């Protein structure tokens, strides 16, 4: 029994370099993955895993499962990759990305934070911060939709602490308006405009218009609604607000 356990231990500790057949299956799996034959790639990776539990095989298997939209299985493969090699930074990034797509935003954040911790390149750390911000923004928007405004603000503020994410700033502007924090809304809207990449151009100006309207500064409110109405997405609401102020 002792000898049997020792042999099993040695087998499970083997790497691709230790097992020629597993290495061949792994390389064939990679070739099939690059050719777009994901089903064939999975077969080869599973064949390799019968002999070795190498973190690289689990990682590539996770990549293929993610491409096949099999997110739960991909998460399992990436988790096994991390178990096999807890210092492999890319596994945390890929697991975080899979959790994000799967709507598991807190789990995504936890893994992006670990990726940032292990990453050695500045660009990777910066990308991790962006992914963390996007995940917190999703949590913030969900809380806002549930009417949990304080929690929403907390999440959105955490988002922009990591990365100047325009959508998070815009969501903050909206929540602050709804909560009557008009100066904070103006600050957030200005930052949304300054860092705008993905949000509609009129968004920041619409919420600035609402903030100024509630602050009784109607001249500035009109000025911002006039800008916002040039954006098709905010045209109707801006024109409505302008009519109310005539």
Domains of the chain (ranges; CATH) run 164-246 (1.25.40.10)
Residue 13 scores a pLDDT above 70: no
pLDDT at 6 over 50: no
- Does residue 12 have a pLDDT over 70? no
Residue 114 neighbours by CB under 8 Å, 6+ apart: 89, 92
The pTM score is 0.89
pLDDT value for 10: 34
pLDDT at 148 over 60: yes
- What is the predicted pLDDT for the residue at 38? 98
The pLDDT value recorded for residue 94 is: 98
Q: Is the pLDDT of residue 90 over 70?
A: yes
Whether residue 104 is predicted with pLDDT greater than 50 in this model: the reply is yes
Whether 11 has a pLDDT exceeding 50, the answer reads: no
Please report, rounded to a whole number, the percentage of residues in the chain having pLDDT higher than 90.
93
What is the pLDDT at residue 4? 37
SS (H, E, C) 27-84: HHHHHHHHCCCHHHHHHHHHHHHCCCCCHHHHHHHHHHHHHCCCHHHHHHHHHHHHHH
Angle between helices 202-214 and 182-194 (to 10 degrees): 160
Q: Is the pLDDT of residue 63 over 90?
A: yes
CA 152 to each of CA 36, 81, 95, 114, 162: distance values in angstroms, whole numbers, following the listed order:
41, 34, 25, 24, 16
Confidence of residue 7 (pLDDT cuts 50, 70, 90): very low
Is 16 within 8 Å of 51 (Cβ atoms)?
no
Q: Is 181 helix (H, G, I), strand (E, B) or coil?
A: coil
Q: What is the mean pLDDT of the chain?
A: 94
């Amino acid at each position: 029994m002792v000898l049997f356990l020792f042999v099993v231990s040695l087998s499970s500790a083997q790497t691709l370099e230790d097992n020629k057949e597993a290495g061949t299956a792994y390389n064939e799996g990679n070739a099939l993955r690059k050719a777009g034959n994901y089903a064939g790639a999975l077969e080869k990776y599973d064949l390799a895993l019968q002999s070795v539990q190498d973190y690289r095989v689990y990682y590539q298997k996770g990549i293929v499962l993610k491409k096949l939209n099999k997110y739960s299985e991909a998460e399992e493969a990436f988790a096994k990759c991390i178990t096999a090699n807890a210092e492999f930074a890319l596994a945390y990034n890929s697991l975080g990305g899979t959790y994000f797509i799967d709507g598991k935003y807190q789990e995504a954040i936890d893994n992006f934070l670990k990726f940032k911790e292990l990453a050695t390149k500045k660009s990777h750390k910066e990308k991790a911060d962006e992914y963390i911000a996007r995940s917190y923004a999703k949590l913030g928007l969900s809380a806002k939709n549930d009417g949990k405004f304080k929690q929403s603000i907390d999440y959105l503020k955490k988002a922009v602490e990591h990365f100047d994410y325009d959508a998070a700033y815009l969501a903050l502007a909206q929540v602050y308006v709804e909560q009557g924090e008009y100066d904070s809304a103006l600050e957030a809207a200005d930052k949304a405009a300054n860092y705008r990449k993905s949000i509609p151009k009129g968004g920041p100006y619409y919420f600035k218009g609402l903030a100024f309207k509630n602050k009784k500064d109607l001249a500035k409110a009109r000025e911002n609604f006039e800008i916002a109405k040039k954006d098709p997405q905010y045209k109707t609401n801006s024109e409505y607000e302008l009519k109310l102020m005539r």
